[in-house]
Homo-oligomer: A and B are copies of this chain.
Amino acid sequence: MLSFSSHFSRKLPPKDSASLNEMLASLKKERDGDEVGYYNLPQSSKKILQELSSMDFDRFSQIVIMGIGGSSLGIKAINSILKPITPDAKEMIFFENSDPIAISENISKIDKHKACFFVISKSGSTIETTSIFKTLIKHFSLELDNATNIFAITDDGSYLSKFATFHNIKEFHIPHNVGGRFSVLSAVGVVPLYAAGYDVASILDGAALFVDSFFSGNEKHLLEKANYIYLNSKKENINVIFSYADRLEHFTKWYVQLWGESLGKLDRDGNSVGLTPISLTGAVDQHSFLQLIIQGPKDKSVTFINISDFKNPLEIPDISLHAIEQTDFINKQRFNRLINEQCKATMQSVMESGITTDLITLDEISGENIGAMIMYYELLTSLVGHALNINTYNQPGVELGKEILYKNLGSN
């Protein structure tokens, strides 16, 4: 279960429920249309699970992912969060970057006979992913024809799809109307996470519950938050997530892509708009970034995320260290309490400094909660994108760099 609270530092116009209803209506229209498909993934991906239930992944003990951006960030996020409650989950190895040292190190971790290889690319021709795939084909002498240890996840009709069909390699399709950064609940996340042993049904259930509740009008706080962010998007143009758990770091990186790439755009009048996402981990970044939040320019809002119950009994022992007795007040408390009290105290200090804060509390680590969190942030992104009058779902700004690269490397 998730719970929400918020404290807006700037006054808003008197509550205009008409405009909140309009925001909700605009997303309903999108959901019921053909162009944006992520709203329906919690339902439609159930069919993938049915298909997977007849497949044998027990023969693998390593799940190798070749993918970058939307083809890896969401999978990494869920793997990292759910691992502590899924101790038998298989090792997942992520090949993302074109960094030769990182690729070489990853290769040395793979046992060819135990590994299941996933090639994930929406377009099917991502330069990093195809280059890495070729490298693994050569290094492990992978047989392509009728391969049973290679799976492709891509758009129907893509280059990669044609490749898979040619070699009779099993493929799963990403709906055409689901963009890469909104695709974690499609085959992109569902298939490799299922293969790794995670309870994917619970993730889809949590996402389904949240999206249904939202469209039933029960998540008004989300509309209010989106409206606030939109109205203050020039003054509070930096949105920080401060998550109090090491294992949420990859989730906040997933958020950085979703938020930055969706909302950093030219609007329909040609103006540059955008909100800058920042990902922090508490309590660590209290010793790093917090000073800037408190005393620097008031251009930030901060969302705190905490986990009420880590289900971990580790306690600070009742030991008194000579000359450091002033820390004894925390003895015999659980670390679970310490980190949550640090979150609470830091949030209060930020709020008292006149900064917009809100809090998302997970009662525990669970598939349902991560599913709901994913849907929460996707809906929030769509709402703010609508208000900003932009196309939330494209990324035209990254094409120029690709063109220059291809030209410099001699592609025709």
A348 to B404, CA, bound (A): 8
Q: Quick check: is A49 within 8 A (CB to CB) of the other chain?
A: no
Contact of A398 among B260, B265, B286 (CB under 8 A): B286
Residues of B within 8 A of A272 (CB): 295-298
| CB proximity of A122 to chain B, nearest CB, Å | 11
SS of A interface (majority): helix
With a 10 A CB-CB cut-off, give which of A128, A286, A321 has the most chain B CB atoms.
Answer: A321
Query: Is A102's CB within 8 Å of the partner chain B?
Result: yes
Bound state CA distance, A130 and B326, in angstroms? 10
Interface set, chain A 80-106, CB cutoff 8 A to B: 84, 96-104
User: What mask results when residues 17 to 48 of chain A are scored 1 for a CB within 8 Å of chain B, else 0?
Assistant: 00000000000000000000000000000000
Flag the segment in A109-117, A277-285, A369-377 that touches B: A277-285
Chain A, range 328-351, C-beta contacts under 8 Å to B: 329-331, 333-336, 338-339, 341-342, 344-346, 348-350
* Residue in B101, B293, B349 whose CB lies within 8 Å of A84: B101
Determine if A330 and B293 form an interchain contact, defined as CB atoms under 8 angstroms apart.
Answer: no
Is B263 in contact with A406, judged by CB distance below 8 angstroms?
A: no
Q: Chain B: which residue is nearest A247 at the CB level?
A: B101
Complex Cα distance A138/B341, Å? 23
Instruction: Supply 18 A–B pairs (Cβ within 8 Å), ascending by A.
Output: A68-B283, A73-B288, A101-B312, A102-B247, A125-B324, A127-B330, A134-B316, A134-B331, A135-B316, A159-B323, A159-B324, A272-B296, A276-B292, A290-B397, A295-B396, A326-B411, A330-B409, A349-B400
A residues neighboring B (CB under 8 Å): 68-70, 73, 84, 96-104, 124-125, 127-128, 130-131, 133-135, 137-138, 159-160, 162-163, 166-167, 180, 237-238, 244-247, 253, 256-257, 260-261, 263-266, 272-274, 276, 278, 281-284, 286-300, 310, 312, 314, 316-317, 319, 321-324, 326-327, 329-331, 333-336, 338-339, 341-342, 344-346, 348-350, 352-353, 395-398, 400-402, 404-406, 408-412
